[in-house]
Structure 1
């Protein structure tokens, strides 16, 4: 059981003070009856709650696929910058967060949810979840880099060593500017940029294509998003057996 005002605020109907005002003004009904007391207890999973005739359905968890555009930061809130959560306009939950971070200038697949258990399993290196990126770099990528990345790269600075786990590098185009598909199972700070920097190359463009079985919908333009399909959600949770 949950307080009515708390439920409405959690489902994004307004701030706690705003929804209290809605309730006291008779704008909210529970199971067909108008309710005027914010502290009224409701069963969030069974009761039917309407605000000004619009059904407010309970959502314990939300899962959105976002094609993150460049120029947006991977955070829940920021006073100066637009965040990835700001882009999710129809969200019900106020506790959404991005699963992992993409640099401000990086594009591509980002999962936005409030499911902390799932997020931990997807991000933990111990679960060996593949993260695949399209990368354009300044420099000629050869089989030598393929072997180096597969063996692990030292991305440390100075005398401090910091080795990456083995990564799979597929060369798509090799030249003054090269294009590759790179798969890693970690998420170290600026990892991909530092990996290429370690072999004398500069990343010009970076886009995440997939995370485990979750693949970026090619129909989503940068900045667009949608809810995960049932199959996608099943695929993600199947990869993390034991969660439910």
Structure 2
């Protein structure tokens, strides 16, 4: 199915090469070769150019399959991270080697590998483990971290630096911190969807906190979560119900990764 696309592309290249040669012949007939017409408007398709074109097509096709797997197999509210080159290797698919041997890379085998690895419960668990890692990294949680618990909330802080907005008294997360905020909110959205906090999952996924412009100490409130924004950190105040569920989520899906943070 997908491997056949490569052969179809190669066939299209041959047809295109033939069409170019026909135009070249027509040009030669109009301008017979002599000292005045040693330069030609039509360029034939050299082997190196068609080889590069085919290689680029195969690289793009591998990316398309990875994106399709992410779309199909990500857990509700979350997004799988799939590393294409790593999974090609795991599937024993060598794009360069196949092309150099004059063969079509086996993209059908690659897709079968992606299905086996990421579909169903296996893929859902991988996605939730990835979400837990994003949360742990975003809050800088370590095995011996103390979680602040008040009478009304469970409090976690993320080191998110901000800078003034252009010609405004408002602030926004710096470019580097936007990456931290994006990963953290993506992880929390996956957690919330898994734990049944659908309203919270929806706003975290679509609320665009990453590039939100705020006043220092401004508080943004969601269902079960308040986020207070300071110049050098964001403070997340979870309701006890949400915070306790988050603790269980990290224990179930982040325990292995959390244990490795003792090494840092």
Structure with the higher strand share, 1 or 2: 1
| TM-score over 0.5 (shorter chain) | no
Query: Which structure has more helix as a fraction of its residues?
Result: 2
TM class by shorter-chain length?
under 0.3
TM-score by length of 1: 0.27
TM-score, structure 2 normalization: 0.26
